[in-house]
């Protein structure tokens, strides 16, 4: 009898372990966007070193690999990245042709980054609203007067 009880306890632990792994598998961590952003900065820095005489050439050197980096990691709003990279190229071209000063270029880069961040936040909020509206709600009665929903 003791052997059978041990076997049942082991079997329950195995089933519980498999269930826990299945639940955790659904919660797999996504890409580390902070690390990817740091990689993009390294790419941009490397291209600036390769092309010290042309800001436009440095931007063009960096933009393809940066776009590929985000796309390869499944970034959901690659069109926003594309628009931001195009803005950076336009700013660099104007700075190379001495149409704008380095101070004006820095201000425009900051404005382009702010626009990118705003658009990404809006899209993220929109996805969260859609997810909340379309995710089924499951409720359990915990007591006579209490229900927990998730």
- For the chain, what are the domain ranges? 34-134
Q: What percent of the chain is predicted at pLDDT more than 90? A: 62
Residue 2 pLDDT class (50, 70, 90 cuts): low
9: pLDDT strictly greater than 60 = no
Calpha distance 62→58 (Å, rounded): 6
CB 58 within 8 A of CB 47: yes
Residue 100: pLDDT over 50: yes
What stretches of the chain adopt beta strand conformation (E)? 139-141, 147-149
Report the C-alpha gap between 88 and 110 in whole angstroms. 10
Q: How many CA atoms lie within 13 A of 24 on its CB side?
A: 6
Higher pLDDT, 71 or 148: 71
Q: Which of 65, 106, 102, 104 is nearest to 85 (CA)?
A: 65
Which spans in 73-101 are helix H?
78-96
State the CB neighbour count (10 A cutoff) for residue 86.
Answer: 13
Total-model pTM: 0.70
Helices H / strands E in the chain, number of each: 5, 2
Residues in the chain: 150
């Amino acid at each position: 009898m003791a052997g059978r009880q041990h076997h049942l306890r082991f079997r329950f632990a195995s089933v519980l372990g498999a269930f826990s792994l299945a639940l955790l598998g659904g919660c797999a961590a996504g890409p580390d966007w902070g690390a990817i952003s740091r990689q993009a900065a390294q790419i941009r820095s490397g291209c600036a070193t390769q092309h010290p005489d042309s800001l436009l050439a440095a931007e063009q050197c960096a933009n393809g690999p940066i776009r590929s980096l985000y796309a390869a990691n499944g970034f959901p709003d690659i069109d926003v990245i594309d628009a931001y990279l195009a803005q950076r190229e336009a700013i660099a071209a104007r700075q190379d042709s001495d149409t704008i000063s380095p101070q004006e270029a820095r201000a425009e880069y900051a404005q382009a980054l702010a626009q990118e961040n705003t658009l990404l936040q809006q899209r993220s909020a929109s996805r969260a609203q859609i997810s909340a509206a379309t995710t089924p709600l499951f409720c359990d009665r915990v007591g006579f007067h209490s229900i927990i929903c998730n």
